[in-house]
Structure 1
Amino acid sequence: MAYVSPARVKWATFVFWNFLDPTFRLHFRYYQRKLAVDRYLERLGVVANVGIGVTFGLMFYNLLIARFLLPRSVSSGHSMEENANEVLRVLKYDTTKELPAFLLMRAKREVISKLHVAADKAEVKRQREEVRRLLDSIDQQRLPK
């Protein structure tokens, strides 16, 4: 004896024929094509596969990543050499006596050392303010007694 449902539309049958069965059929076709491509690539050999992989990788990078994910480059009216010479001029370095590359390294070292000094001063100031605040809170706790 079979069960007779009072439902007019059997939801499981509807879901199977309208969603699951088409999905399974598409997946089966995809899997057949994938197997055919895999067998073809196995016959080609390592060098051809590496070439295909590099080609697809470069296409993927240039079409998607470089265009959409990486930030846009800022175009400047000045070249790197002009910018470097301007930095050296502002720092009053003479490029006739030393190579500009060495002068730029020295300038970088000086700028970084000044940044470290500024960071240290800010840290000392923060610690002094914290000590002052703690001393004030200790004094306030002692006063009511």
Structure 2
Amino acid sequence: MTYESPARVKWATAIFWNVLDPAFRTHFKYYRRKVAVDRYLERKGVVFNVAVGVTFGLTLYFTLVSKFLLPAPVASEYSMEDNAKEILRAMKCDTTKELPAFLLMRAKREIIGKLHVAADRAEVKHQREEVERLLKTLNQQQDSPPLQ
């Protein structure tokens, strides 16, 4: 005595034979191969396992990580000398009279001095704003009637 289903498409049977059974068979083959590889590696020494791991890791890094995950290296269009010459040219320094290294040190000193001046001006501005704010608060408190 068998059960006759009224369904035209027996989806559970189709899924089992077309999806689950091939997946289980593939997994079983994979698992057998994995066990064989594990036993092989257990028989080898620690040095062999480390060598295999390092080789596999380097291969993975240089094939996948360095090509797809890391950003592209910055290709510098100019050398250090070109950059130094451009800085000296922008600051209107004559390299025929003095060595470029000394001119660069002087330019660096000037730039740092200008940065300090800008920072000092910003600090003075900030302190003036703070004083104005405190004076406003003080005047408001003096003008308000005392609490009883």
Q: What is the TM-score normalised by the length of structure 1?
A: 0.58
Aligned to 1:48: 48
Provide closer, same or farther for how the CA distance between residues 83 and 52 of structure 1 changes in structure 2, counting only shifts above 3 A: farther
Indicate the residue corresponding to 2:60 in structure 1.
60
Matched residue type, 1:95: A
Give me the whole-angstrom Cα distance separating, in 2, the residues matched to 1:27 and 1:53.
24
Rate the CA distance shift 1:117–1:43 in 2: closer, same or farther, 3 A. farther
Deviation at 1:15, TM superposition (A): 0.8
Structure 1 residues not aligned, in runs of 5+: 132-145
Change (3 A) 1:13 1:38: same
> Which residue type is aligned with residue 4 of structure 1?
E
Q: Distance in 2 between matches of 1:43 and 1:88?
A: 64
User: Which residues of 2 match residues 1-145 of structure 1 at below 5 A?
Assistant: 2-79=2-79, 81-82=80-81, 85=84, 89=88, 95-96=101-102, 110=112, 117=119
Give the secondary-structure state (helix, strand or coil) at the position aligned to 2:101.
Answer: coil
Which residue does the alignment assign to 1:140?
none
1:138 is matched with none
Give me the CA root mean square deviation. 3.9
Structure 1 residue 10: Cα displacement: 1.7
Residues 83-132 of structure 1, C-alpha deviation per residue, up to 9 Å, x if partnerless? 6745874788x735xxx9xx6xx87xx49x76x949x77xx5xx99xx8x
CA distance in 1, matches of 2:43, 2:82: 54
Identity %: 49
Rg bigger for which structure? 2
How many residue pairs get aligned? The number is 114
Look up the match of 1:139: none
